[in-house]
């Protein structure tokens, strides 16, 4: 599990950037987003099956969002056509 801090909408791809400049891009059809308790999980549905997470502090650091706001933001990127 990796905590990522930045999400970029590169439709039809979504790019995740860490604070150490690691970069992962994946087609938005291959992303599953879940909200469990006070954590948002993004799972990349591919061979690697990576999972990224944000807790409440990380969500707040990402634009002052709450967990539900971050979840809805990611969900809107995934569900909005290009």
| CA quadruple 38, 42, 45, 49: dihedral sign | negative
Return phi, psi of residue 61, to 5°: -65, -25
pLDDT in tens, 13-58: 999 887 765 788 889 999 999 999 999 999 888 766 778 889 999 8
* Domain 2-79 annotated CATH 2.30.29: yes
d(C-alpha 44, C-alpha 50), whole Å: 5
pLDDT at 30: 92
pLDDT at 63: 85
- Predicted TM-score (pTM) of this structure: 0.84
pLDDT at 62: 82
């Amino acid at each position: 599990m990796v905590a990522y801090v930045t999400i970029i909408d590169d439709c039809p791809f979504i790019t995740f950037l860490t604070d150490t400049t690691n970069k992962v891009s994946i087609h938005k059809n291959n992303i599953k987003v879940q909200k469990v308790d006070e954590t948002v999980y993004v799972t990349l549905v591919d061979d690697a099956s990576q999972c990224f997470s944000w807790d409440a502090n990380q969500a707040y650091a990402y634009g002052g969002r709450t967990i539900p706001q971050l979840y809805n933001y990611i969900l809107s990127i995934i569900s909005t056509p290009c």
